[in-house]
Structure 1
Amino acid sequence: MKHVPTRLFIGLTLLLSACGAPLSTLDATSSDLQALGGGTKTTAPAAQMVLTTADAKNLLARQSDLSFRADAGSTTYTIDVDTTRTYQEIAGFGAALTESSAWLLNSKLDATRRSEVLRKLFDPALGIGLSYLRVPMGASDFALGSYTYDDVPAGQTDETLANFSVARDEQDVLPTARAIRAVSARVRFMASPWSAPAWMKTSGTLSGGSLKPETYDAYARYFLKFVRAYEASGVPIDAVTLQNEPHHETTAYPSMRFEASDAARFVGQHLGPTFQAAGLQTKLLGWDHNWDEPSYAQTLLSDAAASSYLAGSAFHCYAGDVSAQSTVQAAWPTKDVYFTECSGGGWATNFGDNLKWNVENLVIGATRNWAKTVLLWNLALDDVGGPTNGGCGNCRGVVTIPSDGSAIRYNVEYYALGHAAKFVSPGARRVASTTFGVGNVQSVAFRNPNGTRALIVLNGASESRSVKVREAGKSFTVMLVPGAVATFTWAPL
């Protein structure tokens, strides 16, 4: 993330002015997670229900099972789930394992506390089962300092990449990634660079500038070395993006301007052929920036050479509207869409407002607009939003690890992600479901690889709604209070 997201700040400030006392963070107690295994069971075909409410009195709390009965007709808010109409395959839900997050998890927690937090984050049975992580390639704005994998003294170059090394990441990032994989082998990783090495750039620095055309081949080999080094270290890379936020250039921390025409030439003539010649299956993604410029992704995909190597495009939340993802997908239906970054922070502290925004725009909004992933920004930050490397000064991690050693706090983002990650497995397919639009009952549905259904519902209205869920001529009805989020799961009827 590169700045306080103005769009979110304005919208949530208006909401906060009308709400009561803010609730910034919450603890995920063992009873919260154990509650997922409780509830009242029935003998009729039934759906399990897990609920989070805007007042935070229910946090992924298991409710009584809901029996399917023969349906008697539609009501005002009937959600029809149709598993015969399928859309994108889901790769996973998660966040970014920045160096800051990895340092907090690996170096600031003892083994017992680290094991506990990793289980709550990644274990699909004992925790919320996050299944996809984004790793910066080198330093980002959340790192302990600025670095790449091939830094040489000013004025020198390293065209053969003889100096290339991921040893810095062996301090915290790679050990944490391996520990996560030990908790859940289903977790996959993608990677994004914030900057090429300074000697490859017009600025001669990590902070700002663009990639010199004469270094395109070396930079393609740099990507290849990174993927191979991570795989050799026990962390296979599923996908890489060409550049994090290519239209945000700053001198405050590592960044690089990368115009669409230049990115197309780089991937079409250098990176794509390099990966292909090496036999890599790692996917290549373009853009990796905000919803407000779908034209960049379209320019990349319109280039025949670049498009032949690109698996799709990636998006962030800080400007524009989530519908931009569908705009790109409609023009290029054979290319995938990934949602790769959004952050909460001190500009928005009301639990209920944040829960609603995240579920409405990301968990439901991004997936209904073709996203294969929903990834938030930092997996973990400390109680002052750090450590930072020149970027956002008040961002919030999915979890907060206080510097004084007090209890780890599981923030609203944890519960928003949990409503999807715990119940929607990698390889699931989004399926058709009725939704009633912003400010009302909204939904997204999935069919898991084992055939089970998962339906996520948000009551975005200011009053309670009676919601009917129907599949194959059978239905149940449930009352949802304002701002409530529910996930329903059931076996094929």
Structure 2
Amino acid sequence: MREWKEVIWILSVFVCSVLSSPCNSKIYDGAFKNLVCVCNATSCDEIEPIGEIGEGKAVVYRSTLDGDRLKRMSMKMGQKLGKDEVVNVTISIDASERFQQIFGFGGAFTDSAGEQLFAVSEKVQEQIINSYFGEYGLEYNVGRVPIASCDFSTHEYSYDDVGEDFELKHFGLAEEDLKLKIPFIQKAIEKTKGKLQLFASPWSAPGWMKTTGRMRGGGAMRNDTRVYEAYSNYFIKFFEAYSSHSIPFWGLTIQNEPSTGADMTWRWQTMNYTAETMRDFLKNYLGPKLKGNKLTESLKVMILDDGRGLLPGWADTIFNDTESTKYADGIAVHWYGNLYSPAVLLDIAQRHHPDKFIFGTEACAGYFGHHGPIMGDWFRAESYADDILTDLNHHVTGWTDWNLCLDETGGPNWAYNVVDAPIIVNRTAKEFYKQPMFYALGHFSKFLPRGSTRVFTKVDGNLAVSAVSVVIEGGQRVTVMLSKSSNSLLTRVVDSATGYSLVLTLPPRSIHTVIWNKRK
């Protein structure tokens, strides 16, 4: 019997070591420790499982500027302070005061992302899929799919470029769908065991449906009933085409960043709507078409898909209309411009329309200032965590990153609008790099499951610290904390419902996720 126990112990140690592969770090030049984790066909870091959380214990995951990447630790609740210790920050949680349910986190299956995935070997592809969607990865459960081309394509294309084809006789998916997007999505669906929820977004109608005759640049849909009908059917045909490849959708946005369509010199695909024209297209054409089709009748329709600075007016215009509100379920927001648009606008929109959800549908770093990737940059990770925390604390139900992976230039992008991504692929070296942003996202996507509920969280003591908390079905608590302080901060987390408290030190520039159970 003793021999069997020894075998079991050895096996358990072996399994734990396999499931918690460490980061193979690479340091880039920079003012700070610019660290990425390198993955290849035979090696890639994994996130150590939460495991069993004992009574009076908590599990903590930590990422830091200094190099920790979702490092797991076990801690005791209720520790007493040392004689000379003073708490710098107190985070108070009240699980009886509840807000929105969490829907999920994920990224976008762009042409560029697919090109990077399929440029490497099958083993490296599997490492990327596992890193994002696997049990020992970020466990993404949301994906965004561009309808036809966007700037992160190699060229402009739609699914019907034959002018005046109002019956869409020439509609067909592009080679990019068949070789890049669809195979990528199918791998992700398989890895998540069907839990992946997809939403689609168009950047533009086919050029011949626009006032300008081209997808690129501003301009609105032609004011022609035949065009409105055809474009509504274009959506239906897209969902039918993907369904034929066993890819179901959860929702859609009506138009990516409709405000950019007012700029006639916009460098890539876009199409202009005002709140009024989006309302009218939705209630008179698109909404009835979607509801009248068995495949699309249950799709969640999101309005806006643009910066929150357009709230609450955009939502009021559409949701206060008794007809258009029947066809819309939520508000999609992007993070661009958030520095100039206070988060309270989200609160106002939610207060005006409590029956509608708010969901983050796009964000990326490297779109202004230094364009493209900065390898190992911690402060971009910090900006991700800060924005997610802010969104969640203001009624947003989840957050979608932009490209799942890009090349080392931040592309390809036919309009040269290069940006950063959580995974950067080096095709020549047959490896990829997990940026700090990857781990910042994991502090949320991994530990805030679909259906968990945000609860009241208050931070006292230091403005450089922010936090959000959720309760998971069964009573488990999760708190995510971001410290932008350059100093270590002794922090106490207090759970008013259980009486538990946890004291821990937040290192400079760090992100923590703390998980503990409801007292039995």
1:43-192 matches, within 5 Å, as 44-55=55-66, 57-63=67-73, 65-69=74-78, 77-105=89-117, 107-123=118-134, 125-152=135-162, 156-168=163-175, 169-184=177-192, 185-192=194-201
Give the match for residue 8 of structure 1: none
- Aligned-pair CA distance for 1:33: 4.3
Kindly indicate whether the alpha-carbon contact (under 8 Å) linking 1:71 and 1:475 is maintained by their aligned counterparts in 2: no
Q: 1:331 to 1:392 in 2, by over 3 A?
A: same
Give the match for residue 448 of structure 1: 472
1:456 is matched by which residue type in structure 2?
Answer: V
Q: 1:236 to 1:383 in 2, by over 3 A?
A: same
1:323 is matched by which residue type in structure 2?
Answer: V
Quick one: distance in 2 between partners of 1:403 and 1:323?
43
Give the match for residue 24 of structure 2: none
Kindly indicate whether the alpha-carbon contact (under 8 Å) linking 2:300 and 2:329 is maintained by their aligned counterparts in 1: yes
Give the match for residue 367 of structure 1: 392
Q: 1:407 to 1:379 in 2, by over 3 A?
A: same
- Aligned-pair CA distance for 1:428: 1.7
Give the match for residue 317 of structure 1: 335
Mark the runs of 5 or more structure 1 residues left unpaired by the alignment.
Answer: 1-18
Q: Does residue 390 in structure 1 map to residue 415 in structure 2?
A: yes
> Which residue among 276, 286, 311 is the counterpart of 2:303?
286
Mark the runs of 5 or more structure 2 residues left unpaired by the alignment.
Answer: 1-29
After the TM superposition, list the runs of 4 or more consecutive aligned residues in structure 1 that deviate by more than 4 angstroms. 28-35
- Aligned-pair CA distance for 1:28: 6.0
SS at match of 1:328: helix
Kindly indicate whether the alpha-carbon contact (under 8 Å) linking 1:81 and 1:470 is maintained by their aligned counterparts in 2: yes
SS at match of 1:261: helix
Kindly indicate whether the alpha-carbon contact (under 8 Å) linking 1:436 and 1:442 is maintained by their aligned counterparts in 2: no
- Aligned-pair CA distance for 1:240: 0.6
Q: 1:24 to 1:43 in 2, by over 3 A?
A: closer
Give the match for residue 272 of structure 2: 257
2:404 is matched by which residue type in structure 1?
Answer: L
Q: Does residue 231 in structure 1 map to residue 243 in structure 2?
A: yes
Quick one: distance in 2 between partners of 1:438 and 1:31?
40
For residues 373-420 of structure 1, the C-alpha deviation after alignment (integer angstroms, 9 at most, x for no partner) is: 211111110011111121413x11220111313420011221111101
TM-score norm. by structure 1 comes to: 0.88
Percentage of matched positions with identical amino acids: 26
Give the match for residue 487 of structure 1: 513
TM-score norm. by structure 2 comes to: 0.84
Kindly indicate whether the alpha-carbon contact (under 8 Å) linking 2:110 and 2:153 is maintained by their aligned counterparts in 1: yes
- Aligned-pair CA distance for 1:462: 3.0
- Aligned-pair CA distance for 1:195: 0.3
Give the match for residue 485 of structure 2: 461
Q: 1:391 to 1:337 in 2, by over 3 A?
A: farther
1:82 is matched by which residue type in structure 2?
Answer: D
Quick one: distance in 2 between partners of 1:138 and 1:164?
11
> Which residue among 379, 404, 410 is the counterpart of 2:428?
404
Paired positions, count: 464
Q: 1:195 to 1:391 in 2, by over 3 A?
A: farther
- Aligned-pair CA distance for 1:297: 3.1
Give the match for residue 378 of structure 1: 403
Q: 1:32 to 1:53 in 2, by over 3 A?
A: farther
- Aligned-pair CA distance for 1:103: 1.7
